[in-house]
Structure 1
Amino acid sequence: MPTLGLGTWRSKPGEVEHAVEFALRNGYRNIDTATAYENEAEVGEGIKKSGVPREQIFLTTKLNNPDMGHPKEALEHSLKQLDTPYLNIGLMHWPAPMTIEGGPDKSIDWLDTWHEMERLYKAHPEKIKAIGVSNFSVEYLSRLLANSQVVPAVNQIELHPSCPQEEVVDFCVGKGIAITGYSPLGSEGAPLLKNPTVVKIAEKYNVMPGTVLISMHANQPNVSVLPKSVTNERILANASIIDIVPADIAELNEIVKTAPFRACHPKWAGWGNLGFTESI
């Protein structure tokens, strides 16, 4: 998996196709989407229009919460929407089966869904090259590892100085699970780009604040980063990775003590003890 990828969460319809095409034409090789984003078809169009051979692209999508009772059908749907013969990795988006109406579906155990994903992965390696999870806490990862044959290749989590999730990161590192960080800039409306510590360190390296936030994670082993943008200038800027000295990383890691923030905290996230707290 390439260290830097293009995230497509919350990208508006009509903009994703161009963003994917432009990113791929300008060196990106890691594209992330999800059925829940409702943009898989646009992502597929962007990939085709870029002219970059499919085998050079690392493509990720995610199993939607209401589809957890039928992951095989969901996989086929995603492949059709993306117009691709295979996924480089398919993730369980949340350990939270839900109904179409948006409530918890307590008739389904997310672990059973994972076992179905394991079977798909073993039976159809030509369609899904690897499987992983997203938004998993240590509690959920521990249950999965104790009851599964396949270790998730990746855990995709929100990751930035205001939401470092150190316990999850450390656990995954110890178990050989790679981390993919989404919303590295703090997502829309987050104050991180104007945070005094981030601005000061950006000025020290003569770069934009976003470059600091992306680079702090991109420099870590077994971590990939998914900044999201639909503008050409920002997509190019987000690809600039710099080396940051440990002292500056340590200073960035102090931000959570005074400015905790979580961008992805849906109202249903407390159901089933998913590891969220109201303080972040």
Structure 2
Amino acid sequence: MGGRPLTLDDAVELTRTGDVWIFRGRSTMDRAIQLTTNSPVNHVGMAVVLDDLPPLMWHAELGRSLHDVWAGGHHRGVQLHDLREAVVVWGNRYGQRAWLRQLEPTVDRAAEDAVLRTVARLDGTPFPSTARLAGRWLAGRAPRLRVAGATTTAGPSPQAHLPSPETAVSPQTSIATEADTSPRTRASRVLGLLRGARPARAEPSPAGLESAYCAEVVAVTYEAMGLLPPGRRPNWYDPGRFWSGDDLPLTAGYRLGDEIAVEIPAGPPPRAPRG
């Protein structure tokens, strides 16, 4: 995790959709997550940068101090935040160090649409408890058993209710169409989505997942974008999978660059809403 550090403003300016932001802290909770997931880092999020919208952070967390631009309120769990505000909170409120890993090459319009469909499906999913997180991580690494020609895990999968990225969303929910792809028009449509005019879901409700951990959210989104091969259970992933010390196999010639340290400016974090 070396290299010349960037200021947060420079990092936000450089980041593009699909870049990952990884965090490492020293609190008891941070250490617990690092221990239970066998990772040198304890949090990962993904940048979402669409046209002239401000860069956003797509991740799952326990806190609810930041405004979720998709849901239009404050809640715990899977959220879409202003990226700069999220990094400042993680640095100042949670005492985290931050690194940026850039995805190369830049993703195309179809991948961006897949991101938005995944946000529509998963936003608001709760964050698991630490105990459940540990069990989930262990279950994700349990050997697969072949029973009567079928492949199963040793024990029930904690992610059995997760709809696959390929089938969970109707193809009619694409954000861009052949007749409507100009940056200005598309940005207006995305803004409309962020204000509540969400695309239709194939699922009757967003309750496909009981809970979701940050690395699972990034992994499911990467699969939907065509960056990860299908077949892995989401609970196989942890924040350390997105660290350069691990060999994360991306598809279609994509790769994540080395970590770039990000200098987080001091500042008062936003207050969590009451209630």
- Which bin holds the TM-score, normalised by the shorter protein? under 0.3
Structure with a larger share of its residues in strand: 2
Structure-1-length-normalised TM-score: 0.27
Structure-2-length-normalised TM-score: 0.27
Q: Which has the higher contact order (CA 8 A, sep 6+)?
A: 2
Structure with a larger share of its residues in helix: 1
